[in-house]
Amino acid sequence: MRLFSTLLIGLSSGAIYSLMALALVLVWRSTRVVNFAQAGQAIASTYIGYLVISRTDNYWLALPVALVAGALIGALVDVALIRTLNKRVKSGPAAEMAPVIVTLGLLGLIRSTVGMIWGGDLKAYKAPVTNHGFTFGTTTIPFSPYNLLIVITTVIVMAVFSIIFQKTNLGLSLRAAAFQPEIARLAGVRVDLVRTIGWAFAGGAGAVAGVLVTPSNSLSPNSLDLLLVLGFVGAVIGGLESLLGAAIGGVVLGIGLAFILEYVSTSLAFPSAFIVLILVLLIKPSGILGKKGGRGA
């Protein structure tokens, strides 16, 4: 029972890591940038969701509002900042470092803007269903209806993404623009537009991750920092290139961490995630799903 329950808890936290990993992978594939500002975009969207919750007390309205806000913010970041950056910084020693530093700066900018608007104090974010575990007979397991909701929502978001990517023309363009931008452009794909749509999808996925994770913790301008790191670890486990890999990587990390928390020690969650990150990067940098000779940079 304990084993099964730990597995379920891991699945639920892993689902959220997957969404963040997915957001990072979407941007990485289209733009070759690991978007550290993703945590900032997600926190801004989550606060916008908080506005909705505090006015209407309706989580189910907050989730889509945050998703749309996240998508808009993502598109805005690409159009306003990343396009400018790519135009201005083409070569030189800064070309490799500039995107990292700019997204880092953007993370700081959004965090402090959010802090200026809403303050640094912790905000409660009410879950739509109870966070008390399911009860079977006399035993109550940690896995709660809210955890179930997280898993279901994530599965729906992932399903929508995979339908878009596999079955629609837009998905085909997205994949083509990521795979061979020049050839895609020759084939009539509007690469810049498609890339912005990719950023919007990523922003939406990050926003959903933020709104889903927040009721279990609480909301503050830096409450999603750890999620960014765990999403990055999940994305790296999956190879940083593959959307399926990101989904699997996040879940694998979530379940692994859940077992360490349950059976070893609660203080080891971060160190073990960090060690997993280093080990994957050293032993199999292309990720568990990666093809041989994965990308270096």
Partner 1 sequence: MGEVHKSRSIRLLVFIVIALAAFFLSNVVDELRVFQGASLSVYIVAIASIVLLTGYSGQISLGHGALMAIGGYSAVLAHNHWKVSIPISFAIAIVSTAFFGSILGWAAARLKGPYLAGTTLALAVGLPSLANQFSVLGGEQGLAFDVGAPPKSLGSDFTQYKWYFWICALAALIIVWITQNILTSRYGRQWRAMRSAPISASLSGIQIGRSKVLAFTISSGIAGLAGAMLVMTLNLVTPSAFPLSLSFAIVTGAVLAGVTNLGGGVIGALVLVAIPDIADLLAGKMGGAEKISANLPGFITSLILIVTVLLLPNGPKLSKLVSHKTK
- Phi, psi for residue 139 in degrees, rounded to 5: -100, 135
User: Minimum distance from CB of 19 to partner 1 (Å)?
Assistant: 17
**Integer Cα distance of 91 and 74 in angstroms:** 25
- Nearer Cβ to partner 1, position 131 or 222? 222
Name the minimum Å distance from CB 278 to partner 1: 5
How is residue 169 written in tokens? Answer: 């023309």
Nearer Cβ to partner 1, position 45 or 103? 103
Residue whose CB is less far from partner 1, 189 or 230: 230
The least distance separating partner 1 from the CB of residue 89, rounded to whole angstroms, comes to: 4
Of 138 and 267, which has the nearer Cβ to partner 1? 267
- Of the two residues 194 and 240, which places its CB atom closer to partner 1 in the complex? 240
* Residues in CB range of 49: below 8 A, 6 or more apart: 62, 63, 65, 66, 69, 207, 210, 211
Closest CB 266 distance from partner 1, rounded Å: 8
Shortest Å, Cβ 36 to partner 1: 6
Q: What's the closest the beta carbon of residue 120 comes to partner 1, in angstroms?
A: 6
At closest approach, how far in Å is the CB of 277 from partner 1?
6
Nearer to partner 1 by Cβ, of 54 and 139: the residue is 54
Nearer to partner 1, 77 or 151 (CB): 77
To partner 1, the closest distance from the beta carbon of 80 in angstroms equals 11
Are 197 and 174 contacting, i.e. CB atoms less than 8 angstroms apart?
yes
**Residue number, 2 or 119, with CB nearest to partner 1:** 119
DSSP letter string, the chain:
-HHHHHHHHHHHHHHHHHHHHHHHHHHHHHHS---TTHHHHHHHHHHHHHHHHHHH--HHHHHHHHHHHHHHHHHHHIIIIIHHHHHH--SSTHHHHHHHHHHHHHHHHHHHHHHHHH-SS-B----SS--SPPEETTEE-S--HHHHHHHHHHHHHHHHHHHHHHHSHHHHHHHHHHH-HHHHHHTT--HHHHHHHHHHHHHHHHHHHHHHHGGGS-B-TTTTHHHHHHHHHHHHHTTSS-HHHHHHHHHHHHHHHHHIIIII-GGGHHHHHHHHHHHHHHH-TT-TTPPSS----
For partner 1, the binding residues (CB under 8 A) are 28, 33-34, 36, 81, 84-85, 88-89, 92-102, 104-109, 111-113, 115-120, 221-222, 225-226, 228-229, 232-233, 236, 266-267, 270-271, 273-274, 277-278, 281-282, 285, 296-297
